[in-house]
Every structure is written in structure tokens, then in C-alpha cells.
């Protein structure tokens, strides 16, 4: 019988406990930090008042070895975080305790929580925790479906430097795009927002995104406030910045970069479409900005995560896609 103790309750109450983020600082991803989860939950509760937010802490011998947050909606159980706005979901786990936490999660799910259908998404396929969760769920629900629904390109390291990571064709493409931008605008620089500048920089990014296409406009309408509140929560902890690619007098591209442990996440990106359309020089300011972000991140010895969506530009910039899976099963 498992020796792991489980404590669970309302998610917003559990996340308010400092011990949650103390553990998050050494485990999991940025999406399990309360600075992300609480804005997500407030947005979700406003749009879906019938939803419940539950959070559990797993302890062994008085030591926290993991935690996990859930959403219960209309008899369906999910890991906390909607797939439209959250990339990695599920438990945060201490190294080496994946099997114990996976078994405790499944014990909680099947023995304590009331649901009819479960869809537990946001799990990187190659991680030990995902494999342990899959095995633990299968022991209680043999017909569990393991479905790949997206991919998240990442660059784990670049011992020879970022440009050295790319093959000659892709390296040449990056350098040409950087050169064309300088020819069009003159010298450019990458700047990082401060507590005084992130808000205006974020509004510029959201405006660019909304003007890009009807689907992007709908995204900003639906989730713009969530993004604003998330950055507001994480910025004071130096965990969220708006990074801009600037000419002498204005920005031409910007990105929301989240930082957690040894990883920088490219959460969202946009660029000045009017500047691109006005040029005949084949400009790609968004790609140039992301290439500089990846280069700087890897030079610091950190991981660069492009997050969900294996678009061609992410792969051309060196990202190696990893499958993101969901576990779906019934009572």
C-alpha cells in the first residue's frame, strides 16, 4: 500500500499557501506556478461558474513530493489549465518520485473525486512522469486512450552555440533575415520589459496579434485579460517579460517570455504587420526576434522551449518537437 499522504481541497485556497510555490520553484513548469494558475482559474470561473478547481498535495514522511491541480466541469475531470492557453499540465513532482506521485494521483482521481469522464492532457510524451501516469491509469482503466494532440519543439542545449546548432542552410537563412532587417531599419536591438514598461509593450503585442487574422482577433478577445493578469502576476517575480526587437525609434516584433527554473518559454509572439507589408525586402521580424531569444537563452546554458505548435519556423530555428499527449478514460 502506498505511503504517500494526500491532502486536497479548493484550488484557490491551496495555491495561496506559500509552500505551493516553494515546491514549484524546484519542480514542474511555469504553468504550475500559482502566478499562472490563479489568473487562469479566475478567468475560467468567470466564464464557467459551474466549474470546480481542486488542488492536491502529496507528501511522504512529512516531505512534499508533488502536487497537482484539477478542473471538474460537468462531470468531466481535467488537469487544471485549458489547452488553448496552457501548454504543460499535470503534476509537479520531485525528481525520482514520479512513480509514487503518479500512483497517488490515480488513487485520488478514482477513490476521492466524482466524475464520469476524464481527459488529462498536457503531458510531454517522453517524460518519466507521463509514462508512470499512463501505467497507473491503465491499472484502473485498462481501456485508457493515449492520444497525441500536439507537439512542443524545444532546444535543450547548444554546446557549439546557437548558430552552430543549425545546419548550413538554416543558419544562412537566419543570418539573411537578420541582415535584411538591418538594411531596412538600421541597427536593431533586443530589449526586455521592466516593471514600468511591460504593460504598454504587452498592449502593443496584443494589438498586433488582433490585427493579424480573424482567428487571432478572437483569441485576443477571449483571452486578452487572462494574458494581462498572468503577466501582471509573474512579472514582479522576474518570471514574465515582454521582449521587443526595436529599431532606433520603435518596436517591430515582440514576445512574451516566461522563465521558470532552467527554461525560458516562448509563450506568445507577434510583429508589426504594417512594417512588413510596406517593405519589399522580405522581412521576418518575428523570426529574427525568436532567433535572438534562442541564441541568448542557450548562451546562458538554459533550455529554450517554443511551446505547443510545431510550426515550420520553430523547427527551422532548431526546435526538436516532442509529442504532447492526453489520457482519456471513463469510469
| Fold classification of 5-153+324-330 (topology level) | Aminopeptidase (3.40.630)
Inter-residue contact 219 to 209 (CB < 8 Å): yes
Q: Where are the domains of the chain?
A: 5-153+324-330, 158-300
Question: What are the tens digits of pLDDT across the range 260-271?
Answer: 999 999 999 999
Are 5-153+324-330 and 158-300 in the same CATH fold? yes
Which residues have a Cβ under 8 Å from the Cβ of 28 and sit 6 or more positions away? Answer: 91, 92, 93, 260
pLDDT score at 1: 46
Q: Which DSSP helix (H) or strand (E) runs through 287?
A: helix 285-299
Residues of the chain short of pLDDT 70, as ranges, are 1-2
pLDDT score at 322: 97
Question: What are the tens digits of pLDDT across the range 226-240?
Answer: 999 999 999 999 999
User: Cα-Cα-Cα-Cα dihedral of 229, 247, 260, 215, to 10°?
Assistant: 50
pLDDT score at 12: 83
pLDDT score at 56: 95
Inter-residue contact 226 to 43 (CB < 8 Å): yes
pLDDT score at 204: 97
| Residue in the block written with cell 475531470 | 77
Retrieve residue 150's grid coordinates.
500536439
Q: What is the Cα–Cα distance from 21 to 218, expressed in whole angstroms? A: 32
Inter-residue contact 253 to 244 (CB < 8 Å): yes
| Fold classification of 158-300 (topology level) | Aminopeptidase (3.40.630)
User: What is the model's pTM?
Assistant: 0.94
pLDDT score at 84: 87
Retrieve residue 309's grid coordinates.
505548435
Amino acid at each position: 500500500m502506498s505511503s504517500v499522504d494526500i491532502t486536497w481541497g479548493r484550488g484557490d485556497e491551496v495555491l495561496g499557501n506559500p509552500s505551493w510555490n516553494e515546491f514549484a520553484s524546484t519542480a514542474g513548469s511555469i504553468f504550475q506556478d500559482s502566478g499562472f494558475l490563479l489568473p487562469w482559474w479566475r478567468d475560467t470561473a468567470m466564464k464557467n461558474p459551474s466549474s470546480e478547481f481542486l488542488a492536491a498535495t502529496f507528501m511522504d514522511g512529512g516531505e512534499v513530493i508533488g502536487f497537482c491541480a484539477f478542473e471538474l466541469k460537468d462531470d468531466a475531470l481535467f488537469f487544471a489549465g485549458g489547452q488553448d492557453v496552457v501548454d504543460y499540465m499535470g503534476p509537479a513532482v520531485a525528481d525520482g518520485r514520479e512513480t509514487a506521485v503518479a500512483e497517488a494521483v490515480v488513487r485520488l482521481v478514482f477513490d476521492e473525486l466524482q466524475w464520469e469522464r476524464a481527459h488529462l492532457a498536457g503531458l510531454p510524451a517522453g517524460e518519466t512522469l507521463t509514462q508512470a501516469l499512463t501505467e497507473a491509469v491503465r491499472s484502473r482503466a485498462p481501456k485508457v486512450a493515449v492520444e497525441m494532440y500536439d507537439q512542443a519543439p524545444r532546444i535543450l542545449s547548444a554546446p557549439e552555440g546557437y548558430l552552430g546548432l543549425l545546419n548550413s542552410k538554416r543558419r544562412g537563412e537566419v543570418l539573411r533575415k537578420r541582415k535584411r532587417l538591418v538594411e531596412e531599419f538600421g541597427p536593431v536591438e533586443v530589449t526586455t520589459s521592466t516593471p514600468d514598461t511591460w504593460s504598454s509593450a504587452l498592449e502593443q503585442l496584443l494589438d498586433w496579434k488582433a490585427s493579424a487574422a480573424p482567428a487571432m482577433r478572437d483569441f485576443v478577445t477571449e483571452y486578452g485579460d487572462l494574458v494581462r493578469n498572468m503577466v501582471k502576476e509573474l512579472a514582479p517575480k522576474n518570471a514574465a517579460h515582454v521582449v521587443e526587437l526595436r529599431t532606433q525609434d520603435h518596436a517591430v516584433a515582440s514576445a512574451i517570455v516566461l522563465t521558470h527554473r532552467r527554461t525560458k518559454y516562448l509563450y506568445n509572439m507577434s510583429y508589426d504587420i504594417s512594417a512588413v507589408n510596406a517593405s519589399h525586402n522580405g522581412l521576418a521580424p518575428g523570426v529574427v526576434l525568436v532567433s535572438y531569444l534562442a541564441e541568448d537563452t542557450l548562451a546562458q546554458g538554459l533550455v529554450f522551449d517554443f511551446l505547443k505548435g510545431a510550426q515550420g519556423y520553430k523547427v527551422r530555428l532548431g526546435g526538436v518537437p516532442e509529442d504532447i499527449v492526453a489520457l482519456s478514460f471513463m469510469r
